[in-house]
Structure 1
Amino acid sequence: MRFEEEFSHNVHDDDDHSKTMSQCSVGALRPEHKNFVVVGYALTSKKIKSFLQPKLEGLARNKGILFVAIDQNRPLSDQGPFDIVLHKEYRRTHPEVTVLDPPDAILHLHNRQSMLQCVADMNLSNSYGIVGVPRQLVIKRDASSIPDAVAKAGLTLPLVAKPLVADGSAKSHELSLAYDQYSLQKLEPPLVLQEFVNHGGVLFKVYIVGEAIKVVRRFSLPDVSKRELAKNAGVFRFPRVSCAAASADDADLDPSVAELPPRPLLERLAKELRCRLGLRLFNLDIIREHGTRDHFYVIDINYFPGYGKMPGYEHIFTDFLLSLVQS
Structure 2
Amino acid sequence: MRLEGETVMVTSRVPVVGDWGRSIKKESVQEVLLRREDDWESASDREQRMLQMCPSSKTSSNHLVGAQQKLVVGYALTSKKVKSFLQPKLEGLARKKGITFVAIDRNKPLDEQGPFDVVLHKLSGKDWRQILEDYRKEHPEVIVLDPPDAIQHLYNRQSMLQDVAALDLCDHEGKVGVPKQLVITGDPASIPNAVSKAGLKLPLVAKPLMVDGTAKSHALSLAYDQFSLSELDPPLVLQEFVNHGGVLFKVYIVGDTIKVVRRFSLPDVDVSESSGYGVIPFPRVSSAAASADDADLDPCIAELPPVSLLNKLATELRQRLGLRLFNLDIIREHGTKDNYYVIDINYFPGYGKMPGYEFIFTDFLLSLTRGKQHKLPGAAICSVDSINC
Which of residues 107, 112, 128 in structure 2 aligns to 1:78?
112
Query: 1:156·1:195 contact (CA, 8 Å) conserved in 2?
Result: yes
Tell me the residue number matched to 1:92: 137
Q: 8 Å contact 1:202–1:220 — kept in the other structure? A: yes
Residues 1:155 and 2:200 are matched in the alignment:
yes
The one-letter code matched in structure 1 to 2:324 is R
Matched, 1:240 2:240: no
Query: Mind listing any 5+ residue stretches in structure 2 that lack a counterpart?
Result: 1-41, 43-54, 65-69, 121-131, 372-389
Higher relative contact order (CA 8 A, sep 6+): 2
Alignment of 1:21-40 (within 5 A): 31=56, 33=58, 34=60, 35=64, 36-40=70-74
Secondary structure in structure 2 of the residue aligned to 1:112:
coil
Task: Say whether 1:48 aligns with 2:92.
Answer: no
Show the counterpart of 1:280: 324
1:256 to 280, 300, 309: 300
1:313 aligned partner, one-letter code: Y
Aligned residue number for residue 6 of structure 2: none
Q: Identity of counterpart residues, as a percentage?
A: 74
More helix by share: 1
Q: If the length of structure 2 is used for normalisation, what is the TM-score? A: 0.75
Equivalents in 2 of 1:145, 1:81: separation in Å? Answer: 54
Q: Does 1:133 align with 2:178?
A: yes
> Is residue 173 from structure 1 mapped to residue 207 from structure 2 by the alignment?
no
Pairing partner for 1:63 from 92, 97, 108: 97
Specify the structure having the higher radius of gyration (Cα): 2
Q: Which runs of 5+ in 1 are unaligned?
A: 1-22, 24-29
Residue equivalent to 1:118: 163
Contact 1:175/1:241 (8 A) holds in 2? no
CA distance 1:127–1:94, shift in 2 (3 Å): closer
Quote the Cα distance in structure 2 between the aligned partners of 1:257 and 1:50. 30
| Amino acid paired to 2:321 | L
**Residue equivalent to 1:186:** 231
Q: CA offset at residue 262 of structure 1?
A: 0.5
Deviations 1:278-315 (A, max 9, x none): 00000000000000010000000000000001110000
Say whether residues 1:209 and 2:254 are aligned partners: yes
> Structure 2 CA distance, aligned partners of 1:89 and 1:52?
26
Query: Post-superposition shift, 1:43?
Result: 0.6
The structural deviation recorded for 1:81 is: 0.9
Over residues 36-76 of structure 1, what are the superposed CA-to-partner deviations in whole Å (9 max), with x where a residue is unaligned? 20001111111101001111000000001000011112222
The partner residue of 1:103 within 120, 135, 148 is 148
